[in-house]
Amino acid sequence: MSELETERERLADLVVRFTDAFNRDDLDGVMSFVAEDALYDEFNGTVNRGRAAIRAAFVPQFRGDYGTLRFHAEDLFVDPVAGKALIRWVCTLQTKRGPAGWRGLDILHVRNGLITEKLTYAKAKVPLLSGQVARGVVVFGG
Q: What's the CATH number where 66 sits?
A: 3.10.450.50
pLDDT value of residue 132: 45
The pTM for the full model equals 0.86
Decide: helix, strand or coil at residue 92. Answer: strand
Give the residue, 91 or 142, on which the prediction is more confident: 91
pLDDT digits 0-9 by tens, 57-113: 999 999 999 899 999 999 999 999 999 999 999 999 888 888 888 999 999 999 999
SS3 assignment, position 50: coil
For 10-32, write each residue's pLDDT tens digit: 999 999 999 999 999 999 999 99
| Residue 118 structural domain | 3-139
Count of structural domains within the chain: 1
What is the torsional sign of CA 104, 109, 113, 115?
Answer: negative
Nearest alpha-carbon partner for 14 in 40, 38, 35, 33: 33
Residues whose CB falls within 8 Å of the CB of residue 52, separated by 6 or more in sequence, listed in order: none
Checking phi first, is residue 37 left (phi over 0); if not, alpha (psi -120 to 50) or beta? Answer: alpha
